[in-house]
Structure 1
Amino acid sequence: MPYLEERGDAKSSAGEEALTASRMVRIVGAYVRPHGLALAGFFASMLLSAGALLLLPKLMATAIVQGAQRHEWRVIVVIFGLGLVWTLAGALRNFLITWVGERVMADLRTAVFRHVLGLSPAFFEKRRTGDIISRLLTDVALLKTAVTAALPYAPRSIVMLLGSLIVMLVMDPAMTLLVVLLVPFLVLLWRSVGKEIRRLARETQDRLADLGAVVEESINGIRTVQSYQSESRVGAIYENLVRSGLQLTYRRLRLGMGMSVATGVIVFLLIAGMLRLGFHQIHSGMLTAAQLTAFLFYAFFAAISSASISEAWGFLQRGVGAGERVLALLNAVNPIQEPQDPVPLPAGKGQVEFRQVEFHYPTRPRHYAIQRLSCTIGAGQHVALVGPSGAGKSTLFHLLLRFYDPQAGEILLEGVPLTRLSMQELRSAFAVVSQEPVIFSASARENILLGRPSATETEVMEAAQAAHAWEFLRTLPEGLDTQLGERGITLSGGQRQRIAIARALLKDPRILLLDEATSALDSESEHAVQSALTRLGKNRTTVTIAHRLSTVRHADWILVLKDGRIVGQGKHDDLLGDCPIYARLAKHQFLTDTKAL
């Protein structure tokens, strides 16, 4: 568990692909393109509101000079009309870009999640669940905030800044030159501070990922935490991570505040300088008071726009920090690739062949879980796998399902290498029931329907009855529609296993992979379920990781594994005399019929 020691996971994003603001905009742009009509409406309303606002100072200056003499009502109506256009266009602009931002982030979050669902277990071996959840939820949310905060204001502010500068240049080139000379200094300030803000934002997200990992594992292991009286220790580690994240946030906020203050001071010092120059020109008769007022309005627009750009740049840099983490997840390469030209799975009853297979897990490259293993599991056979812990029994299941590919050798299904079959067709041939089955936070019906979502009510009932799940399901308040709680917390271990068996039976696969699927049942239910599995096994292959004497006696063939090798195979009675390892396991464990192999 991550809280057994405090880790420097703030560096977990190190080595991930660097992301610039422009590249982030291009990536997000791919998700924006489907919403081109709304985006066009945004730009049209933005230009309309900016144009209306840019016309107001000039008209107001005209009104001051001429309004009292003639057409005063006409000028007032025009000013009011422009103000109304500015208000309505601005409201439409904000609505459209915010809605597009929400849609884009929803699409991005869905795309990332779908990509993660397709990654092999090897990817998850090296990453914490809390970090992945943080990237999917917190980082995408921060990216959304950055996009929806920066996009509505940055383009408008840029248009306002450029428009103000153009009008100012027409009105008074000399004073406008002062503004233009300061623009490079502002850009340099934003770029230098923006890089540090992006780095701090990324580190803050790493800390949040650490927090998520601690929360998730602490809640999942709450009984262990409490039984070992570790609440204070876990709480202290969580608090330290919170404080570390808070310090990073403080530094980022301080930098952002400094950038805003520096921008404001520079801009308003510039305005003060223009006032001094403007007063001199009024005294010299080169400029009227109304013209200076209009010019200062535009200077003020330029100042406000510069401040808005500065703030939007800060938001964008925060989004880039989060975007780096999201992009790393979206760009994660699946080591298990679909074949470019898949071969259709031939008709058959589930013949499997292992040819000189060697395999080690990615996180344990020096330890081979399977070593030069060759065997054939005949179609329709019931084969039991036995051996001590770590012998490679579960690993064979993982290889059959192509969660991993072997480093050497090949595995064939119906004579076709697994790597030549599409993942959909390959996995549709298998159903798995593990010792600790996964029950989702849904109804019993929905959990069983995972086996075959298109199944009818009658088929669901038949699967539940065959697995002896209906015996307890009918006593629940809402029967099949009863919510089972997170990880099936409302059920006993045996009940969870029977739900999983019903799910596997409903799938009606060619091959059943059972990790002693009856081990959590009482003897009466075990006998009934074993009979059902035996009956169903007549038309399919069944491979069972065996923990009980009753299981190996029912098997057509037994494979004895040790250290990833087959050290014996045959029938139970033959192996007792021919395989010392099997005989020892039988003597110390099978005969009790209670302990796991």
Structure 2
Amino acid sequence: MGLTAKKIENSDQTQKQDLRILLQLSSFIKPYKKIAFVAFIALIITSLSFLLLGQGIKLFIDEGIYNLSRNELFVILLVLMTLVIGTFIRFYFISWIGERISNDVRLAVFNHLLTLHPHYFEVNRSGEINARLTTDTTLLQSIFGFSISMALSSVLLFIGGLIMMIITNIKLALIVLISVPVILLPMAIYGRRLRTLSRKSQDTVADIGTYAGEIVQNIKIVQSFTREPEESYAFSVEVEKAFSAAKRRILQSSLLIAAAMIIVFTGLGAMIWFGAKDVANGEISAGELASFVFYAIMVARSVAVISEIYGQLQRAAGATERLLELLSEKPQITPPAQPKKLEKGTLSLSFNNVSFSYPSRPKEVALNQLNFKVNKGETVAIVGLSGAGKTTIFELLQRFYDPSQGSIDVGDIDLINLDPINLRMNIGVVPQQPTLFSADVTHNISYGNPSASKNQIKQAAKEAFALNFIEQLPEGFNSYLGEQGVRLSGGQRQRIAIARAMLKDPSILLLDEATSALDADSEQKVQHALKKLMEGRTTLIIAHRLATIMHADRILLIDQGQLIAEGNHQQLLTSSDLYKRLCELQFNH
């Protein structure tokens, strides 16, 4: 089940789950338990030091600063120095842990994304996935850093302050203690609402990122159709949705903090009133009352901080839930327990009664009992109408999906017995619409073989007839190409993709109309390069243009997922009416 499909289900689950979901991130803390222990010790020491300040206040008032002994002044100074140093150590290490956990979670999520099947990315929006990688993990960073530090410190000061209040004056302490259960009530009521609203708020932010990313990626289309005003209005609607969700969350959080503070300060005011009466009656000293007020304010502040952080923890719980959903997604394509390994060299391949439907369209048959074999070193072209199943053949060969029925053999080994990584290392692909990264030329070509030398990269570019235009770029091979290679023409992008495939030196070559974006001159040059590349390799070509299939050993004619004819060009012209019609329409024969 994908992210989008889970939203309704999870909106109900958020009512039932609580902050214990954060404990599921404990595995990310374990590697740093020593640092966490140091930070915790510093936290205890600073909390104790802060509690001792109350006794220092009592001494200052009851005895006077000039009447304190040198030892007493030294102890007070030592407590202050301990408080400062301990706070530094606590803040540094806990912030360090927060940053480290955030990055580890982000890395774990990204690594898990790399294992997921293509269908997952078909049914889930890239913007929402990116939001989980960025927004949600950044929220965890603040929670596991500053917020957790403040929360633990506040809990210790709350407990320590209560104990010191009881020791100082039990009657006044009881007045404060009566308000504690009343404080917890609004936290319980508003906390659950806040978590639900936090989840909705994070989802709307993800929607904004998705929408903006899509528009930016297709900005030329937007401007070409002059849709800027409509897109601006549509985006403003998405922004307002996010703001409305944020307002509801902020309102609940503010009510939670305000309710806690009203109750706390009401109790504090009553305590001061009764305490002042006791001082006037001589039952306690002014120093004891000041010390008690210090602890009472400490407890009140701790409650206020805890209630505020409780709201943040609710947001973190929502973010954690979203991240755990993603991490729990199981890849559909996994290596077998004991995978076989392909031998280096030329490989054969065959489809054996293969039927397949895409998971997103289970009722539509993409391939139907498809049978064919490609011998070692053979070049086979696949032709057919759009939607006939040509691209599906390539996707199954790379094991992005597994057949619904039948089997696919590569090198006489069933694909399900191969590790997908080992399989894909032996396959080179040149797609119809090449994918380039926003890095430089060297990175894009060496993606086919990261260990290749500069000379090998240059040679691959030369064989793909890309060297001339690369050297004319401002920084040559170090020139950045922009997102999706936007700084290059379509033909230039295609030649970069061909150079990448050449550098990979695969056993099986898959060409998806590899010269479709080239002009006549470049196409002729690249055809020569491809012919050289295909020597000694098993090659499958998806073709619409005559020039790309004239040299093929065989041509497979696919229609509605079935093989309806095969042979060379001349044979099919005489034996297949569909092929003849395709030639008339597509090849201008």
Query: Structure 2-normalised TM-score?
Result: 0.95
Task: Identify which of 505, 524, 527 aligns with 1:527.
Answer: 524
Whether the 8 Å CA contact 2:339–2:417 is kept in 1: the answer is yes
What SS does the corresponding residue of 2:57 show, helix, strand or coil?
Answer: helix
Task: Identify which of 250, 253, 258 aligns with 1:253.
Answer: 250
Alpha-carbon deviation of 1:526?
Answer: 2.3
Alpha-carbon deviation of 1:428?
Answer: 0.3
Rounded to whole Å, the distance in 1 between the matches of 2:10 and 2:195 is 14
Task: Identify which of 177, 182, 188 aligns with 1:180.
Answer: 177
User: What's 1:472 paired with?
Assistant: 469
Gaps of 5+ in 2: none
Whether the 8 Å CA contact 1:147–1:319 is kept in 2: the answer is no
Rounded to whole Å, the distance in 2 between the matches of 1:512 and 1:368 is 26
- 2:260 aligned with 1:263, yes or no? yes
User: What's 1:303 paired with?
Assistant: 300
User: What's 2:77 paired with?
Assistant: 80
User: What's 2:328 paired with?
Assistant: 331
User: What's 1:167 paired with?
Assistant: 164
The one-letter code matched in structure 2 to 1:15 is E
Rounded to whole Å, the distance in 2 between the matches of 1:514 and 1:125 is 23
Rounded to whole Å, the distance in 2 between the matches of 1:46 and 1:392 is 64
| Deviation larger for 556-565 or 53-62 | 53-62
Task: Identify which of 9, 18, 38 aligns with 1:15.
Answer: 9
Identity %, equivalent residues: 38
What SS does the corresponding residue of 1:539 show, helix, strand or coil?
Answer: coil
What SS does the corresponding residue of 2:343 show, helix, strand or coil?
Answer: coil
Alpha-carbon deviation of 1:406?
Answer: 1.4
- 2:271 aligned with 1:277, yes or no? no
After superposition, give the CA deviation of every residue in 1:315-346 in whole Å (9 maximum; x if it has no partner). 11111122222222222221212222211223
The one-letter code matched in structure 2 to 1:555 is A
Alpha-carbon deviation of 1:556?
Answer: 0.5
- 2:496 aligned with 1:499, yes or no? yes
- 2:406 aligned with 1:409, yes or no? yes
User: What's 2:422 paired with?
Assistant: 425
| Deviation larger for 39-48 or 340-349 | 340-349
Whether the 8 Å CA contact 2:61–2:286 is kept in 1: the answer is no
Whether the 8 Å CA contact 1:467–1:498 is kept in 2: the answer is yes
Whether the 8 Å CA contact 2:182–2:263 is kept in 1: the answer is no
Rounded to whole Å, the distance in 2 between the matches of 1:234 and 1:546 is 37
- 2:145 aligned with 1:148, yes or no? yes
After superposition, give the CA deviation of every residue in 1:489-531 in whole Å (9 maximum; x if it has no partner). 1111111100000000000000110012122223333233222
Alpha-carbon deviation of 1:70?
Answer: 4.5
CA RMSD between the two structures: 1.9
Rounded to whole Å, the distance in 2 between the matches of 1:232 and 1:340 is 55
The one-letter code matched in structure 2 to 1:14 is I
Alpha-carbon deviation of 1:72?
Answer: 3.8
Alpha-carbon deviation of 1:407?
Answer: 1.2
The one-letter code matched in structure 1 to 2:149 is P
| Deviation larger for 256-265 or 446-455 | 256-265
Rounded to whole Å, the distance in 2 between the matches of 1:316 and 1:75 is 41
What SS does the corresponding residue of 2:549 show, helix, strand or coil?
Answer: helix
The one-letter code matched in structure 2 to 1:484 is L
The one-letter code matched in structure 2 to 1:324 is E
The one-letter code matched in structure 2 to 1:161 is F
User: What's 2:437 paired with?
Assistant: 440
Rounded to whole Å, the distance in 1 between the matches of 2:474 and 2:280 is 90
After superposition, give the CA deviation of every residue in 1:372-403 in whole Å (9 maximum; x if it has no partner). 11111111110100000000000111111111
What SS does the corresponding residue of 1:553 show, helix, strand or coil?
Answer: coil
Whether the 8 Å CA contact 2:60–2:287 is kept in 1: the answer is no
User: What's 1:389 paired with?
Assistant: 386
After superposition, give the CA deviation of every residue in 1:88-110 in whole Å (9 maximum; x if it has no partner). 21122112111210111011111
Alpha-carbon deviation of 1:283?
Answer: 4.6
Rounded to whole Å, the distance in 1 between the matches of 2:522 and 2:232 is 44
Rounded to whole Å, the distance in 2 between the matches of 1:267 and 1:193 is 17
Rounded to whole Å, the distance in 2 between the matches of 1:544 and 1:143 is 48
Alpha-carbon deviation of 1:348?
Answer: 4.6
The one-letter code matched in structure 1 to 2:7 is S
- 2:58 aligned with 1:61, yes or no? yes
| Deviation larger for 68-77 or 302-311 | 68-77
Rounded to whole Å, the distance in 2 between the matches of 1:298 and 1:520 is 76
Rounded to whole Å, the distance in 2 between the matches of 1:358 and 1:231 is 44
What SS does the corresponding residue of 1:554 show, helix, strand or coil?
Answer: coil
What SS does the corresponding residue of 2:152 show, helix, strand or coil?
Answer: helix
What SS does the corresponding residue of 2:9 show, helix, strand or coil?
Answer: coil
Whether the 8 Å CA contact 2:565–2:576 is kept in 1: the answer is yes
CA distance 1:11–1:255, shift in 2 (3 Å): farther
Alpha-carbon deviation of 1:16?
Answer: 3.8
What SS does the corresponding residue of 1:14 show, helix, strand or coil?
Answer: helix
Rounded to whole Å, the distance in 1 between the matches of 2:224 and 2:575 is 46
Whether the 8 Å CA contact 2:353–2:369 is kept in 1: the answer is yes
Tell me the number of residue pairs that the alignment of Structure 1 and Structure 2 aligns.
Answer: 584
User: What's 2:133 paired with?
Assistant: 136
The one-letter code matched in structure 2 to 1:267 is V
Rounded to whole Å, the distance in 1 between the matches of 2:476 and 2:248 is 55
Rounded to whole Å, the distance in 1 between the matches of 2:412 and 2:5 is 47
| Deviation larger for 121-130 or 12-21 | 12-21
The one-letter code matched in structure 1 to 2:53 is L
After superposition, give the CA deviation of every residue in 1:160-187 in whole Å (9 maximum; x if it has no partner). 0111111222223333233333323322
Whether the 8 Å CA contact 1:12–1:206 is kept in 2: the answer is no
Rounded to whole Å, the distance in 1 between the matches of 2:526 and 2:480 is 24
Whether the 8 Å CA contact 1:431–1:507 is kept in 2: the answer is yes
Whether the 8 Å CA contact 1:130–1:209 is kept in 2: the answer is yes
- 2:537 aligned with 1:543, yes or no? no
Alpha-carbon deviation of 1:68?
Answer: 5.8
Rounded to whole Å, the distance in 2 between the matches of 1:119 and 1:174 is 63
Rounded to whole Å, the distance in 2 between the matches of 1:474 and 1:347 is 34
The one-letter code matched in structure 1 to 2:444 is N
What SS does the corresponding residue of 2:145 show, helix, strand or coil?
Answer: helix
Rounded to whole Å, the distance in 2 between the matches of 1:458 and 1:124 is 37
Alpha-carbon deviation of 1:441?
Answer: 0.7
Rounded to whole Å, the distance in 2 between the matches of 1:81 and 1:187 is 36
Alpha-carbon deviation of 1:438?
Answer: 0.7
Whether the 8 Å CA contact 2:19–2:313 is kept in 1: the answer is no
Alpha-carbon deviation of 1:67?
Answer: 4.4
Rounded to whole Å, the distance in 1 between the matches of 2:249 and 2:4 is 15
The one-letter code matched in structure 2 to 1:177 is L
User: What's 1:6 paired with?
Assistant: none
After superposition, give the CA deviation of every residue in 1:234-256 in whole Å (9 maximum; x if it has no partner). 11111111111111111211211
| Deviation larger for 109-118 or 55-64 | 55-64
Task: Identify which of 350, 355, 359 aligns with 1:353.
Answer: 350
Rounded to whole Å, the distance in 2 between the matches of 1:315 and 1:149 is 11
Rounded to whole Å, the distance in 2 between the matches of 1:223 and 1:301 is 59
CA distance 1:188–1:552, shift in 2 (3 Å): same
User: What's 1:517 paired with?
Assistant: 514
Whether the 8 Å CA contact 2:464–2:499 is kept in 1: the answer is yes
Query: Structure 1-normalised TM-score?
Result: 0.94
Alpha-carbon deviation of 1:21?
Answer: 5.0
